[in-house]
Amino acid sequence: MVVNSSPEVDGRAPLPPALEARSLCKEVSSPEGLLTILDSVSFTVLPAETVAIVGPSGAGKSTLLSLLAGLDVPTRGTVRLCGSDLSGEDEDGRARLRAAFVGFVFQSFHLLPSLTAVEQVMLPLELSGVTDARERAVAALNEVGLEARLRHYPRQLSGGEQQRVAIARAFVTRPRVLFADEPTGNLDAASGDTVANLLFGLNALAGTTLVLVTHQRELALRCQRRLNLAAGRLLPE
């Protein structure tokens, strides 16, 4: 288990860690009794760090991601997101923190079938009441090279293009932390490379913290750190 100390940049007040997990446990009941999915997981992720969560299927990677993002609550333990304790918040409080700090990219893209590409990207901006949502969405799609696909629906886009729309949607709110769940898992090698380049490029540009779950070794190696999960426990880095 590795605990990083908080960085001090140019002598200014230290920024809180992007993520702090303390003794995270997740248990669920099953027909066979209580099932432990995560067992005493602790670590810290610094701002602008890139971290890959890796491990075999069933190791608890996606569960960990959902706890870190406040999508689910741990059975025991705490998570601090950008300095705020998620376990002290109810669902709506966690939602507010997500709206303030977090972006997501998913394996299956999660684009809404009734929205065009530009509307997909506008969605989080509209939710936070931004007035120039369309302009910013168009700019974000330009950044991922989809300026010619603004009015296309998901069914009219290839898998790679859909994921690029999802990346534009994730980055458009300038989140402090970006969670990506198998972002290239559904893509061919070429599209996967494009998407990965975009993720890391935008991350470097915006100073976003990137936490991604992946099975792909190449993608994991591009991250600064790798957290290895096996049977719900974190292996030494």
Partner 1 sequence: MKALRFAALAYWRDLRAGELAVLITALAVAVAALSAVGFFTDRLARAMAEQAGEVLAADLRLESGHPLDGNGRYSAEATRRGLATARVLSFASMVYAGSEGHLASLRGVSPAYPLRGRVRLAAEPFGPAHEAAGAPPAGTLWVDGRLLASLGLPVGGSLTIGTRAFTVGAVLDYRPDQGSGFADLSPSVVLGIDDLESTGLIQPGSRATWALLVAGTPDAVADFAAWLKPVHGAGERLVEAREASNQLDSALGRSARFLSLAVLATLVLAAISVAITARRYAVRHRDAAALLRCLGSSRRFVFVVSTIELGFAALTATAAGCLLGLAAQWALARLLGDLLTGALPAPSWRPALAALATTMLIMLGFALAPLLELSDTPPARVLSRNLEPRRLRHGIPYVLAVLALMAILVFLLRDTRLVVYAALGLGVAGIIYFLAGLGLVRLAGRLRGSAGVAWRYGMANLARRQAASAVQIVAFGLGLTVLLLLLVVRNDLLREWHASLPPDAPNHFVINIQPGETTALHEFFRVHGIAQPTLYPWVRARLTDVNGVAVGDLRLTSERARAFAEREQNLSWSATLPADNRLTAGAWWGPGAGREPEVSVASEYSEDLGIKPGDRMGFDVAGERIEARVANVRKVRWDGFRPNFFLLFRPGVLDSSAGTYMTSFYVAPAARPMLVQFIHQFPTVTLFDVDAILSQVRSVLDRAALGVESVSLFTLVAGIIVLLAMVEASQDERRFESATLRALGASRSLILISVATEFASLGALSGVLAAAASTAAHYALSSRLMALPYHPDPWPWLIGPVAGTLLVGAAGVLAARRVVNTSPALVLRAG
20: alpha, beta or left? (left if phi > 0; alpha if psi -120 to 50): beta
Q: What does DSSP assign to residue 150?
A: T
Decide if residue 127 touches partner 1 (CB under 8 A): yes
Whichever of 46 and 210 has its CB closer to partner 1, that residue is 210
Decide if residue 96 touches partner 1 (CB under 8 A): yes
- Give the side-chain half-sphere CA count within 13 A for 233: 4
Sign of CA dihedral 85, 86, 92, 98: positive
Decide if residue 92 touches partner 1 (CB under 8 A): yes
Strands 177-181 and 209-213: parallel
Residue pair 14/6 in contact (Cβ under 8 Å)? The answer is: yes
Decide if residue 62 touches partner 1 (CB under 8 A): yes
Q: Which of 16, 75, 87, 100 binds partner 1 (CB under 8 A)?
A: 100
Decide if residue 115 touches partner 1 (CB under 8 A): yes
Q: Which of 13, 57, 91, 236 binds partner 1 (CB under 8 A)?
A: 91
The residue assigned the tokens 């997101």 is 81
Whichever of 46 and 65 has its CB closer to partner 1, that residue is 65
Whichever of 47 and 154 has its CB closer to partner 1, that residue is 154
Q: Which of 52, 65, 68, 202 binds partner 1 (CB under 8 A)?
A: 65
| Number of shown-chain residues binding partner 1 (CB under 8 A) | 35
Give the nearest distance from C-beta 180 to partner 1 in angstroms. Answer: 11
For residue 211, give every residue at least 6 positions away whose Cβ sits within 8 Å of its Cβ, in sequence order, or none.
19, 45, 51, 53, 65, 68, 177, 178, 179, 180
Tokens (6 digits) for 158: 């290839």
Binding site for partner 1 (CB under 8 A): 62, 65-66, 69, 71-72, 91-92, 95-100, 102, 104, 106, 108, 110, 112-115, 119, 123-124, 126-129, 154-155, 159, 181, 186
